[in-house]
Structure 1
Amino acid sequence: MPSLIPNSPWARRLVYELVYAWPGSRHAKTFNVGMAPVDAAILADPDLAGDANQIQLYAELLALAGRDADAWRQSAIIEVAAGCGGGLLYVSKKYRPRKLIGIDVSAVAARRGRRLGIDLRQGEATRLPFEDGYFDCLVCVDALNYFVEEDFVREAIRVLKPSGLLLLADTSSTFAEAERRFRRLAQLGGLAVDALRDASPGARTSIRERGPHVAKAVAWVPNFLRARVAEMLMIEGSERYRQWQDGEYCLAMAALSRPALQA
């Protein structure tokens, strides 16, 4: 589906450097459509409450994996396209995994994440500086459209351990389209499809709930960019807001797993 962010790697990085350096985003820790309703524990945490809907998406994506708190605590987890590290901050506080690393194309985002106490590094999702089989779980939220799928899956498989998880959440036109895409990615990587979920109702509610908060950020945007940013942020009155509320967009989640080693 079409994106408002350029596909050229250098242009995309420039846009994100500007987005994360923009004064209107200085308090935001993560950027995605979000989910609703939000867990009370997230709303009660002052480190998370400002991005509560966006953090809720991470909570529900990890829940889709079906692993318990002990399993997460023993895991090494990486998020690619991690933004400023809000999702990883939630994972750190909730599960305290033994290793937690983020990668983002933006150096500004990486610096902001490190100020949160997150090991967040500037880099490319398709060229990860880690040895084979290093991670138990790789997370990717709302970024698949910016990668060559074959390169992304190949690198994900390389850094995942046997039985490792690939957790994905992304936007499509329909859930059927999303399911085809996730199954194609699984087939490319020889992965099992453990779970799929249409999370669109929660995403639509989230977009409505966070609208007034997000709209305040547009006041920082120069006039000539304001309409484009309103579309990116799905502010009420924008075409993307209408499309979400009319069901023309879908948020889908997938839990895929690498096969275990044969005994």
Structure 2
Amino acid sequence: MAIDLAGKVALVTGASGGIGRAIAISLAASGAKVVLNYLNSKEAAEEAVAAIKHKGGMAIAIQADVSKAEEAQRLAAESEQAFGRKVDVLINNAGHLVQRVPNEDMTEEVYARIMDVNLKSAVFVTKAVIPGMKAAGAGCIVNLTSVAAHNGGGPGASIYAASKAAVLAYTKGLAKEVAASGIRVNAISPGFIGNTAFHATFTSAAAREATIQSIPLRREGTPEDVAGVALFLVSDLSAYLTGETIEVNGGMFMR
């Protein structure tokens, strides 16, 4: 069964690279008009837009700091204006470890940055698109969490892990809130995904190899592995799924 998203508008936060970029490209290839949100990486976001257009898709890039409520609202408004209709699909992908900090060294500033980019961003971008989805009687929201939400993460990542666990709970609560309006809300929990800035920044080569050897499928995941699941979750193939979290980790964590 082919997935057809023709006519739908999809907004992907944190879409200039890695998982967000792969999801945006996958949605566009299935016919969606895609808004790629970025914070600082304008050139990378525009390159992704160009790649989508080269293959006949429709996409634009919009800069916004989605950790700020007013910026999240602006992003949603500009997304709707760009394509002349409400947002049908929202992928809350923006997120960041920020930095590894043992709890005894945690500051309020770092704590706030971690929580804001991982949880607050999802809450307030979602808040901005829900009215349009309710008016249409349909919509799909996918939140990106992490295997860290289950295992507490690596060294100095306890607050990051907590923020991603909060995303899991938020997904379930929101799914109950909006189900009667025809809106489905699910989450994806990636494990060790290569070709991302996250591991390039925070994971050593030795740690990477050790992790791969511990994964039953004996390889790291790719952004495209995650994108395929996102595409499934926003399609009619998952029409009876809401409040669910799908683990994409090669078997390193099984529920």
Sort the TM-score into its range (normalised by shorter chain). Answer: 0.3 to 0.5
Q: In proportion to residue count, which structure has more strand? A: 1
